[in-house]
Amino acid sequence: MPSAHALSRFTVLDLTRVRSGPTAVRQLADWGVDVIKIEPPGGDRIGGNRDGSDFQNLHRNKRSLTLDLKQPEGVAVLKRLARSADVLVENFRPDVKDRLGIGYAALAAENPRLVYASISGYGQDGPYRMRPGLDQIAQGMGGLMSITGEAGGGPVRAGIAVADSSAGLYCALGILTALLEREQSGQGQWVQTSLLQAQIALLDFQAARWTMDHEIPPQIGNHHPTASPMGAFPTADGHVNIAPIGEAMWRRLCAVLGHPEWAEDPRFADQPARGRNRHDLADAIAAVTRTRNAAHWVEALNDAEIACGPVYTMDQVFADPQVQHLGMAETVEHPRLGRIDLVAQPIRMSRSDGHVRTAAPDLGAQSEAILHAFGFDAQAVTALREKRVI
């Protein structure tokens, strides 16, 4: 597998933990950034099982340096590293970094070109800045849970950490933007996002329905909130997603389902009418789709060039021939676990693809090599180890 090189000229100091911060840094690591994961000498107590799938997937392509930032010597080491690093990423509670003496102002004084990126629960300032921020809390406060689930069924969380992951992705985008801006100004800057901001931004058109139209989007289950028919329909052995876009595709759907008369039915004759009568239409379609299995409908609808697809379990996702063609699982060697498959980058580039090159590092595995590369001699490294700074 070729090594990613698109971003190999950059060095990132990674102080992140849990999910949002590691997601941001992983985006950079996969494209060749030299990521130095900085952890306490005893390990990250809330980082999860180091050999587990989540940790391995989040922290691949990194090197590990142990560093006790509660000791002044540890802070001094970090500042020395920051002088020649390009980026530092952290997702502490907003007050922690300044209390440790490693906030943006302190490190910008060491290196004015440093891009300093912070992810928090609610923002670096404001009335909620000190509240603990967690993904599900952000899903609720950001509005996602109010529009997820069946009508009248109460709020439902998404099955993935949407706020965490999107905050990480927005943070990575902010970092790359700041690095591009630095090429013009020569100066670094402080990049900030939060779980709450990211969750609201990810609502996109649902949020805009309120900001522009003052319409509160309701829960509508597995069907599209504004288009009809578009949703998950039951089959004899599961479900299939059907999404006829435009009148021509709608008419083809009617024909495939054996009810061409629906296209002329005043209840379903155009999109506004289908929207008003969405429940009747969904029930009518479901009565037909239940009669055959999902594979039949996927084949028949695709043959008619109607947007559709199966609803997979996770094993079925990675068994799908298109997913395998896209290479969405990538194999890497782990010193103890052997060959493991991790989730690949979803971006393809013609010359500079990102790849999973190395498994997540063992705690402190590269500490000495990293410190030597930053100019610490053997005596200095020994002294740091004796004081348990590393």
Give the catalytic positions in this structure: 164
CA atoms of 195 and 22, how far apart (whole Å): 14
Please count the CA atoms within 13 angstroms of the CA of 173 that sit on its side-chain side. 8
How far is it, in rounded angstroms, from Cα 37 to Cα 361? 9
Q: What single letter denotes the amino acid at residue 287? A: A
Phi, psi of 342 (to 5 degrees): -120, 170
Q: Among residues 72, 64, 25, 24, which one has the least CA distance to residue 42?
A: 64
Residue 292 tokens read as 């055959």
39 neighbors 364 (Cβ within 8 angstroms): yes
**Closest to 123 in 3D by CA, of 196, 188, 176:** 196
Q: What is d(CA 350, CA 211) in angstroms, rounded to the nearest whole number?
A: 39
Hey, what are 210's tokens?
């309120």
H-type helices in the chain, by residue range? 20-29, 53-58, 72-82, 96-100, 104-110, 135-141, 144-147, 162-185, 195-203, 205-211, 246-256, 271-276, 278-289, 294-303, 314-319, 321-326, 367-373, 378-386
Q: Cα dihedral angle (257, 262, 263, 269), rounded to 10 degrees?
A: -140
**C-alpha of 193 from chain center:** 14
Q: Crossing angle of helices 20-29/162-185, nearest 10°? A: 50
The alpha carbon dihedral of 212, 216, 219, 223 has a sign of negative
* Alpha-carbon span 390 to 377, nearest angstrom: 14
10 Å CB burial of residue 124 (0-12, 13-18, 19+) is middle
> Hey, what are 318's tokens?
């990675």
